[in-house]
């Protein structure tokens, strides 16, 4: 794709601009999803650690 368009008076290709915006949005979404997944894994590890401490202390963990 090219960023100039012979069919447009302004010379700018709207499809190319839309493509660039979508690419940028996708990159941001991937970064956010990766950060969220990292946080989720950390929280699950913390839950497992706390569960082990409760079990070692003889405390029963209630069901949901």
**Beta bridge partner(s), residue 12:** 4
Q: Using one digit for the tens of pLDDT, what is the confidence trace for 3-61?
A: 666 666 666 677 888 899 999 999 999 999 999 999 999 999 999 999 999 999 999 98
> What residues are paired with 4 via a beta bridge?
12
- Phi and psi at 57, nearest 5°, equal -85, 0
* pLDDT for the residue numbered 42: 98
């Amino acid at each position: 794709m090219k960023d100039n368009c012979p069919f447009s008076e302004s010379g700018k290709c709207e499809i190319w601009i839309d493509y660039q915006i979508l690419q940028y949005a996708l990159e941001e979404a991937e970064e956010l999803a990766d950060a969220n997944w990292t946080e989720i894994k950390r929280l699950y590890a913390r839950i497992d650690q706390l569960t082990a401490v409760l079990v070692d202390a003889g405390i029963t963990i209630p069901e949901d």
